[in-house]
Amino acid sequence: MIQSIKNGKIIMLKINNIKIDVNTNNGLFGASHTFRSGLNIVRGNNTSGKSSLFQAIVYALGFEELIGGRFEKTMQSVLKDQVEFPKHTFHNVLQSLILLEIENTNGDIITIRRFVQNPNRKSQLIDVYFGSLSTNDNLKSRPMFIHDNGGASDENYGFHLYLEEFLNWELPKVLTNKGDLRKIYIQQIASSFIIE
């Protein structure tokens, strides 16, 4: 759960669950995890998938600049190149995606779908499903985009503008080099509330 305070009210982004699907030349792999309200601690041995889980959350929200770049190149090899299972047996990734269900303070739920690997789809496209895909697979959805002109300002298709409004966040404004006030990008403040 990510919280801030606005006018004495707690504003939050609650992560309900995540599902990662990796389709390979030898079948489907993946993982899913449901988060509880309050503090969740993800613990495990080295190479057990903790960083992949964290990066999948960051990537689904379009904040992958926090982990060193943009698009799928920031992701772990298991989501874009090869799955190793069992040990020393490798399967080539054909397609992979992340489903991230989040909830706002009002109890509204959306599910974000973003592909890591898909030869027929650009990685700046995100599908927003209005509700929980884990309980209803017949939801209305809307394609949106990030890291492109309008990703933070287009009222119909800009994902980060939609996310800001969904969370009821009011992003601060900063001066541009021309002296104008412009709203700060949501991914620029994400580093203050997302830490691995």
**145-156 pLDDT per residue, tens:** 887 776 666 777
Instruction: Check residue 184 and give its pLDDT.
Output: 74
- How far apart are alpha carbons 63 and 57 in whole angstroms? 9
- How far apart are alpha carbons 114 and 118 in whole angstroms? 10
Amino acid at 169: W
CB 194 within 8 A of CB 2: yes
Partners of 27 in the β-ladder: 24
- How far apart are alpha carbons 138 and 86 in whole angstroms? 35
**69-92 pLDDT per residue, tens:** 677 777 777 778 778 788 888 888
- Domains for the chain: give ranges and CATH numbers: 2-169 (3.40.50.300)
Please identify which residue in the block is written with the tokens 């969370």: 167
Confidence of residue 2 (pLDDT cuts 50, 70, 90): very low
